[in-house]
């Protein structure tokens, strides 16, 4: 059954009070892998779905990053998406692999120690699109954060000349296959999102331009959705310290208020 955990392997954790696991779960019948972090407590905690950016080994979730979010009081699950770290299938860049995010959210929803009505989504870069698709698919999601997130796949093709070879191989060109790009653009499905959305974006982002954030903000406001924006004038794709750490604390506090 999709969203079912079929293997959970304990790994050494860099944090003495947070457990780390290497998880195998089902998505579209495929065995997909991911990391799970659990603070050591008897209390039920909110769930945090960490949706990575990039593709294949580029943008793979870092354990230290997941621990950082889990230390704020969340059970965190970070899927690698299909075809990675020994998982079955092949990524198709916010195509069918969006189901790996949706089913990963079901993993959290089924987790015995997760508060069912306090599951939050976090998407970074390409993961922003995955988060928006997941929020549009699952009505129980409490909040969604898009940090330097992709909202328009055709815009990504236009801006990222270095990604065009990969995108042509995985998707095709926007000229020849406009429907494939429309399908991968979450702006076309945001009408189904029920939860508040927080947009975090560096104005000088060189990988996912601020235009993605502006378009998402305008789209959500046009539909009467609850949206908040934190735009940082001086920052690029990766925020420097201590601003990165401060933003992590602030966004998790925002989630808990929703």
Question: In the chain, which ranges are continuous DSSP H helix?
Answer: 63-70, 98-110, 126-137, 153-159, 164-170, 178-183, 210-222, 243-257
* Sheet with 227-232: strands ordered across: 5-11, 18-27, 30-39, 75-79, 45-51, 114-124, 143-147, 197-202, 227-232
Hey, which residues are catalytic here? 125, 237
All domains of the chain in start order, with CATH? 5-257 (3.40.50.1820)
- pTM, 2 dp: 0.97
In the predicted model, residues of the chain with pLDDT beneath 50 are none
Q: CB within 8 A of 159, min separation 6: which ones? A: 209
pLDDT tens profile 83-119: 999 999 999 999 999 999 999 999 999 999 999 999 9
């Amino acid at each position: 059954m999709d969203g079912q955990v079929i293997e959970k392997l304990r790994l050494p954790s860099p944090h003495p009070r947070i457990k780390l696991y290497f998880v195998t779960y089902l998505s579209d019948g495929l065995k997909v892998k991911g990391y799970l972090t659990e603070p050591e407590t008897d209390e039920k905690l909110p769930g945090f779905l960490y949706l990575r950016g990039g593709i294949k080994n580029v943008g793979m979730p870092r354990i230290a990053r997941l621990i950082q979010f889990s230390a704020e009081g969340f059970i965190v699950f970070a899927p690698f998406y299909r075809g990675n770290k020994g998982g079955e299938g092949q990524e198709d860049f916010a195509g069918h692999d969006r189901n790996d995010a949706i089913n990963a959210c079901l993993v959290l929803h089924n987790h015995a120690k997760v508060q069912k009505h306090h599951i939050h989504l976090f998407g970074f870069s390409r993961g922003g699109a995955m988060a928006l698709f997941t929020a549009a698919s699952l009505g129980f999601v409490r909040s969604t954060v898009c940090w330097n997130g992709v909202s328009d796949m055709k815009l990504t093709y236009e801006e990222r000349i270095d990604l065009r070879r990969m995108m042509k191989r995985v998707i095709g060109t926007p000229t020849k296959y406009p429907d494939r790009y429309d399908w991968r653009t979450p702006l076309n499905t945001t009408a189904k999102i029920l939860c508040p959305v927080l947009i975090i974006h560096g104005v000088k982002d060189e990988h996912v331009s601020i235009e993605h954030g502006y378009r998402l903000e305008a789209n959500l406001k046009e539909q009467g959705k609850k949206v908040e924006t934190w735009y940082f004038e001086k920052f690029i794709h990766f925020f420097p310290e201590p601003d990165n750490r401060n933003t992590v604390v602030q966004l998790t506090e925002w989630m808990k208020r929703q």
